[in-house]
Structure 1
Amino acid sequence: MKIAQIAPLAESVPPKYYGGTERIVSYLTEELVSQGHDVTLFASGDSRTAAELVPITPAALRLTPGIVDPIPYHMMLLEAVRQRADEFDALHFHIDLLHLPMAQNFIGRTVTTLHGRLDLPDLPPFYRCFGDHCLVSISDHQRKPMPPVNWGGTIYHGLPADLLPPRHGDNESYLAFLGRISPEKRPDRAIRIAARAGKELRIAAKVDNVDRAYWETEIAPLIDRYPNIHFVGEINEQQKAEFLGNASALLFPIDWPEPFGLVMIEAMACGTPVIAFRCGSVPEVIEHGRSGFIVDTEDEAVAAIEQLSHLDRRRVRSAFDARFTAARMAADYTALYHGLPGARTDAAWLRRQRGEEAELQIVA
C-alpha cells in the first residue's frame, strides 16, 4: 500500500528526548517500510526515517528558538498533505483534531489515532460534529468520555522487539521513575513510596515550562529531603535501556486517565516489572502478578516492592513479546487500512492517476 503518516511537529520522528506520540509514529513507520509498504512521513526536517520524508519545518518546534505559536506550522503541514492526498491509499493522522475539516474530501482513506486524554469538556461536541471519521483509540479506557463516533478499533502501542534488550538476572537495584514531572504523573507518590520502602529512587524526567512551578514548590523540596532520591533529568533513547534494565521495578503512580503509558511497555521489554496505580489504561497493559503489580494506594505499592522477588523477569518480557511489539501494531493498522472504504472504492482511479496497476496490492 501507499501510506501517509502525518506526525506532530513539536518533536522530531523519532524524538531526541521525550515524545511519546512521535516515538510511536517512528516505530510504526519503520515497521511498515520493513513489511514492504510505500510510506511517506510528513514531519519535521530533523526526523530520521527509511520512508520518504516530507519536511515541514527545518527542525522540531520544541527545540527551535523563537517559536511562539505552533498552529501556523501545522497549517503548513495540512497544506502539504492536501496537495499530495491523491497519492495515498491510506492517510494516517497523529495530530489530534486540526485536520478533520480538511480531510472531509478524502475521508474514506483516513485514519486518526487519538494519542491524548479525551475527558476534556470541549471534545465531545467537536467529535459529534465530525462523527464519520475513522478514529483509533490506544486503550479501551481512553474511549469512555467520548460520544458515539466511528471507532475503527483499539490498537495498543508497540515497540521494536530488539529496541530494549531484556535483563533477566535478579536485580535488587534502584526503583525507577521515567517520563515527565507533572501533577498527574505523581512523582511525589513515587518519592514517598521509595522513602517508605527504604529503596533508592532514580527519577529520569523532563520538566516542561508549564510544570516549572510544580517542580520548584512540590518536587524539588521532596528530593532534597530524602537522601535516597536522585534526579537524573531527561534521558535519550540510548540511555533508556540501561536506566530501565538495571532497575528492580518501574514506579508508575499516576493519578489521571492515562490513555496508554508507553513507559510501562518499555520497562516490560527490559524485563523490568511495573508497579502501577489503577488508573486509565493500566489494567489493560499490566498483567497483575506477571508483568507487575496494580495497586490502589501507597501502602499497597510499598507492599508490592516487597513482592518483586516473586516475579520472573523472563515472564515480564514474554508478556511484552505477546502483546506489545511494533510488528503486531503495524499488522493491526495494516488490517485497518485495508478495511477503509476508500482504500477499496478509490484504489482503482487513484492508481490510474499514478500510472500504476489499478488493483490494490495487499502486502502481508
Structure 2
Amino acid sequence: MSGDEINRVTLISPYALSVFGGVQEQVLAMSRELSRRGFEVQVLAPDDSDDSLLDTPARVVRLGALVSVRANGSRAPLTLSAKASRLASAHVRDFAPDVVHFHEPFAPRLGWGTLRAHRAAAVATFHRSGTGPALSLTRPLLRRWVRHLDVCIAVSRQAADTARSAYGVDPLVLYNGFETDRFTQFPRESSATLTLVVVGRLEERKGVATAVTAVRDHNALGGERWRLVVVGEGPERASLQRLANADPAIEFLGALSDEDKRRWYRRASVVLAPATHGESFGLVLLEAMAAGTRVVASDIPGYRDAAGSHAVLFSPGDAADLERAIATALGSRDDATIRGAREYAERWSMRQLVDEYVAQYARAREIYRPGVA
C-alpha cells in the first residue's frame, strides 16, 4: 500500500457496472488495482442486480432502481432515486473512507447527496466530452457544488475543456488506463479468414452502421471476403442487422463477458473503432494495441489523442474511406508495427494510472478541511 495515511477509498460510479462503458471499466479496473495494493475499496453504483461483470475484490454496494436516460448521444444506465442518494451517503459514512473518488460527479444521481454530505477528501474525475441543454440548465447549481471537490481530474483534453466550460474548474488531465496484461493472457488464434471486430454499445454515435456498410459493400464486390464480428448490445441492433442485408460474414454476438471480449481482441485481424463523436478518450484502441492487433479508428479528437501514430484513421461516417483504411491496416500487420503499438499502449497501464491517482488522493487529503463539505 502507498499513499500517505490513506487506507480506505470509496469509488462512486453513476452508471450500472453490468453495462459496458468507459466509466464503468475505469471504476472496476481501479478497484482491482487499488485492492491489489492493499487499500480497502468500496464501490457504489446503481442497482442492476447483475453480477456478471463484477470482477473485483472490492466491497460493491448497489443502490437505486436502474433507468436508461438519453445523454450526450448515448443511453446512460443510472438511477434517479433520491432515496439511493441518501443511502449512498449513509454507506460512505459507515465505511469511513479517507478519500471519496467521484466518477462523473454531477451525473444523476447516486453521488449528489454524497457530494454534499461526505466527510472525507473528495477527488472527481470528469469523463464527459461535450455539453447539452440539460447541462446548460443545471450549470448554476452544479458550479456551487464544485466547492465540495478537493481535486479535479479529466480523462482527456476534450473532457477538461467541457469541465472548464460547464463547471468552472481547471482539471488535471490523466488519460484513462487499463490492465494491459489482461489483453495478452490468451493465445492468438490464427484464421484463414480476415476478421474485423467492433466492440461497443450499439447506438448511433458508435458508428457501427459505417462498419457494417463498409464490410457489406466490400463483400458484395466478390473478392476476398471480410468477416465482421460485432460485440455489444443496444437499441440499434435490429436496424444494423437489416443493414447487413443477411450477409453471413457479418455476425452480431450481443453482450459478452469481459474475458470473452478480450479473447475477440486476440482473434481479430483488425479492431475497428468507428464512433462518429462523443468519445473523450479511445481506450478501446489501446486495448486492441495491447492485444497485438492492428487498429482502424475514426478521425475524431478523443481517438486521435489515444492513437498517436499507431492506428489507421478514416473520416467519421464515411464507409468508403473506412474500407480503404481497413485494407491499409490489413496490409501493415508486420511484427515491428504490432510491437511498436503494444509498447505504446503500455504507457496507459492501470498500474501507472493508479500511481498518479494515489498521489492525487494524498494531495486531496492535504487540501481537505473538515466542515467545508
Say which of 313, 320, 341 aligns to 2:345: 320
Q: Does 1:157 align with 2:169?
A: no
The TM-score, its normalising length taken from structure 2, stands at 0.76
Aligned residue number for residue 128 of structure 2: 116
Change (3 A) 1:120 1:108: farther
CA RMSD of aligned residues (A): 3.3
Deviation at 1:60, TM superposition (A): 8.8
Tell me if structure 2 keeps the 8 A contact 1:197–1:305: no
Tell me if structure 1 keeps the 8 A contact 2:280–2:302: yes
Aligned residue number for residue 137 of structure 1: 154
Tell me if structure 2 keeps the 8 A contact 1:7–1:94: yes
Aligned residue number for residue 35 of structure 2: 33
Deviation at 1:90, TM superposition (A): 1.6
Correspondences of 1:224-239 after superposition (within 5 Å): 224-239=245-260
Change (3 A) 1:307 1:116: same
Correspondences of 1:139-218 after superposition (within 5 Å): 139-146=156-163, 147=165, 149-165=168-184, 173-198=194-219, 199-207=226-234, 211=235, 214-216=236-238, 218=239
Give, in whole Å, the separation in 2 of the partners of 1:285 and 1:131: 28
Change (3 A) 1:68 1:105: closer
Amino acid at match of 2:349: T
Aligned residue number for residue 274 of structure 2: 253
Give, in whole Å, the separation in 1 of the partners of 2:36 and 2:306: 26
Give, in whole Å, the separation in 1 of the partners of 2:367 and 2:209: 53
Give, in whole Å, the separation in 1 of the partners of 2:119 and 2:157: 23
Q: Does 1:5 align with 2:10?
A: yes
Correspondences of 1:289-328 after superposition (within 5 Å): 290=310, 292-296=311-315, 297-308=318-329, 309-311=331-333, 312-321=337-346, 323-328=347-352
Q: What secondary structure is seen at the aligned counterpart in 1 of 2:101?
A: strand
- Which has a greater percent of strand? 2
Amino acid at match of 1:203: V
Give, in whole Å, the separation in 1 of the partners of 2:233 and 2:270: 20
Give, in whole Å, the separation in 1 of the partners of 2:169 and 2:161: 14
Give, in whole Å, the separation in 2 of the partners of 1:106 and 1:100: 10
Give, in whole Å, the separation in 2 of the partners of 1:60 and 1:164: 33
Correspondences of 1:70-89 after superposition (within 5 Å): 70-72=80-82, 74-84=84-94, 87-89=96-98
Aligned residue number for residue 94 of structure 1: 103
Amino acid at match of 1:27: A
Aligned residue number for residue 61 of structure 2: 55
Q: Could you tell me the percent identity over the aligned residues?
A: 20
Deviations 1:135-193 (A, max 9, x none): 32111112334426333412222222321117679876211111111110111100122
Deviation at 1:227, TM superposition (A): 3.4
Give, in whole Å, the separation in 2 of the partners of 1:338 and 1:149: 23
Deviation at 1:105, TM superposition (A): 5.4
Q: How many residues align?
A: 329
Deviation at 1:95, TM superposition (A): 4.9
Deviations 1:203-262 (A, max 9, x none): 11112xxx2xx443x312112343321111111112112211111111111111212233
Q: What secondary structure is seen at the aligned counterpart in 2 of 1:174?
A: strand
Change (3 A) 1:118 1:151: same
Tell me if structure 2 keeps the 8 A contact 1:138–1:259: yes
Tell me if structure 1 keeps the 8 A contact 2:16–2:24: yes
Change (3 A) 1:227 1:256: same
Q: What secondary structure is seen at the aligned counterpart in 2 of 1:176?
A: strand
Give, in whole Å, the separation in 2 of the partners of 1:121 and 1:135: 23
Structure 1: runs of 5 or more not aligned: 351-364
Give, in whole Å, the separation in 2 of the partners of 1:237 and 1:287: 25
Give, in whole Å, the separation in 2 of the partners of 1:273 and 1:204: 17
Structure 2: runs of 5 or more not aligned: 1-5, 68-76, 220-225
Deviation at 1:201, TM superposition (A): 0.8
Aligned residue number for residue 300 of structure 2: 279
Give, in whole Å, the separation in 1 of the partners of 2:144 and 2:368: 24
Give, in whole Å, the separation in 2 of the partners of 1:137 and 1:229: 36
Deviation at 1:202, TM superposition (A): 1.0
Give, in whole Å, the separation in 1 of the partners of 2:116 and 2:78: 29
The TM-score, its normalising length taken from structure 1, stands at 0.78
